[in-house]
Amino acid sequence: MNTEARIKLLEHEVRKAFTTVEGNVYYSQFIPWQMTDYIDGLCHLSILLGAMTKYGKAPLDLHELTSQWIIQLDMLGVFVRNVSPVKPNPSWTEHKGVWVKAKPQSFAGPAALHWAAPNTAWKNGRPTVTAWTMVLTAPLFGYLVKPISGLRQHINSVFLAHLLLGKKPPRSMSWLAEWNPFYSYIYGRKCEVTWPTNRRTSAGYEEEKNLPQALAFRKPGSWPVKQWPYKNYIRSGAPVNRYYTPVCELACLYLQETL
């Protein structure tokens, strides 16, 4: 399947993740549609929005659905990470007539939104100061992130800081961009990969390896390019009856097509 056909297929799949109820737009990280405690929507959908804008040929209806979800989240307040028409579980609270997953936004979501829509000021401020701090410390971060496992959770944020400020990441982080079309895009490099399946298995698990693994072998998830590259997902048991919405692959294909 060529890239254009693949993009069309993914656009169709991502549409399935949106539903509209009484004028409000809701998004699911899974297909079939299901509300969960997913809290990274602002980051992921903002990157998709920015990628659609740069690509320039994305369907208007998908652009509108993505924009409406982000606008709705913004209107509900800085403590909201997700919104649902029904109460998914007891951890959700009612707010302004809908159910919300309450947790203040950190850096990644507002940074991705500010990159995608610079004139949109998230209510907790513009994240450029934090981004500059990350960019200035990134050369050292690239050397420390491999031996210090506690730093790995910040990899995506450090790359987002460079994306937001239009800066090329340092050489010390370039190994993280291997088999990674999102991080490669931030370096300005073309990167063609085989994507992992977007469905986990009932007894699947991760196994640490001595060498970086191709993207195809990493753990399926909402944003698979974020997975630690030295881990390989071992498929065990039957495939689960839901799969992750391929928003990450679609956003990366859009971005790669602009290089």
How far apart, in whole angstroms, are the C-alpha atoms of residue 43 and residue 228?
18
pLDDT at 163 over 70: yes
Contact 9, 250 (CB under 8 A): no
- Region 159-167: mean pLDDT is 97
Residue 206 has pLDDT above 60, yes or no: yes
pLDDT surpassing 80 at residue 119: no
pLDDT at 121 over 60: no
What is the pLDDT at residue 159? Answer: 98
**The pLDDT value given to residue 125:** 57
For 23-32, what is the mean pLDDT?
95
- Here the tokens at position 11 are 């656009």
Residue 106 has pLDDT above 80, yes or no: yes
Note the pLDDT of residue 55.
Answer: 97
What pLDDT is recorded for position 77?
Answer: 81
Give the pLDDT of residue 118: 80
Question: What is the per-residue pLDDT for 123?
Answer: 52
CA 62 to centroid of chain Cα atoms: 16
Q: Does residue 68 have a pLDDT over 90?
A: yes
> For the residues 76-85, what does the mean pLDDT come to?
90
Residue 120: per-residue pLDDT: 64
Integer Cα distance of 259 and 256 in angstroms: 6
The 3-state DSSP class for residue 158 equals helix
SS3 5: helix
107-111: average pLDDT: 92
Average pLDDT over residues 220-231: 97
Q: Are 157 and 134 in contact (CB under 8 A)?
A: yes
Residue 51 token pair = 């990628």
Q: What percent of the chain has pLDDT over 70?
A: 97
Q: Please name the amino acid found at residue 258.
A: T
> What are the CA-CA distances from residue 14 to residues 35, 69, 89 (Å)?
15, 13, 24
